[in-house]
Amino acid sequence: MSVVKESWSSFDSNIAKIYLDGFGHPSDRSKHLMASVLIEIFGGKEFHLADFGCGNGHLYRFFRERGLNLRYTGYDFSTSLLEAARERYADDDKAAFLERDIQDPTADLGNADIVLYSHVLEMLEAPGASLTAARKMAPRIMIRFFQPPADGFDLVEIRMLDVGNGEAEVPYLRRSFSIDHYNLLLSKTGCTSVDVHQVAGDVDQVHILNF
């Protein structure tokens, strides 16, 4: 098991149920922004969302509460977060969860109407390979950034994550993209335009990649 997968899998089981839905630092305004952008794109018709790095799947419930008509497949490699997700939605036949490394462009990940990376693209060792895999699955990609691409240099850091088990924090990877690097990744996936959405005063951005 890679160090990063091991870190993301080591959540305490009670904390795994509430991670980013009560524990951690969720940014509410951009969560609402994602819901509005999805409504703008799909209106009331049913669509299939592939949530890359879904964690415990809390966004599925949030989108349903906002009135979105979606089928949902969550992909993650964290065994503890997936266990919490499967338990939470055991009776819901519109939600499924798959244990996958979303950086494998050869993996069979199925199809969707849109792939979502919510606070995930910046966590990946190989974001370009992942975007290529996502592009094979869907005609659109939505990215919610903790740290939007900016006019600076690329930065990759090892940070420490509180997994709520009362022991030492565990390492994870966090990157900031320069605009140049981001544009290069997008051009390699065949992206033709990006719609950028942001709530005034918020750091988060939501991007829609069109192909």
Ligand X SMILES: C[S@@+](CC[C@H](N)C(=O)[O-])C[C@H]1O[C@@H](n2cnc3c(N)ncnc32)[C@H](O)[C@@H]1O
Binding site for ligand X (CB under 6 A): 8, 20, 53-55, 59, 76-78, 81, 101-103, 118-120, 123-124
Q: Which DSSP state fits 188? A: H
Contacts of 116 (CB under 8 A, 6+ apart): 34, 49, 50, 51, 52, 59, 141, 142, 143, 144
Report the nearest approach of ligand X to the CB of residue 17 (Å): 13
Q: Tokens for 81?
A: 């977060």
As a whole number of angstroms, the distance between CA 134 and CA 136 comes to: 5
Q: Where are the alpha helices (DSSP H) in the chain?
A: 3-9, 13-18, 28-42, 58-65, 79-88, 127-137, 179-189
Least Å from the CB of residue 21 to ligand X: 7
Q: What are the tokens at 128?
A: 């370009």
Strand, helix or coil for residue 144 = strand
Q: Using the minimum distance from each CB to ligand X, give the nearer residue, 53 or 149.
A: 53
Residue carrying structure tokens 């940014």: 27
- Supply the minimum distance, in Å, between the C-beta of residue 48 and ligand X: 17
**Shortest gap between Cβ of 84 and ligand X (angstroms)?**
10
Q: How many other C-beta atoms lie within 10 A of the C-beta of residue 29? A: 13
Query: Which residue spans within 82-169 are E strands per DSSP?
Result: 95-99, 114-118, 140-145, 155-161
Name the minimum Å distance from CB 143 to ligand X: 11
Nearer to ligand X (CB atom), residue 47 or residue 56:
56
Q: To which residue do tokens 């969707």 refer?
A: 112
Instruction: Output the smallest distance, CB 55 to ligand X, in A.
Output: 3
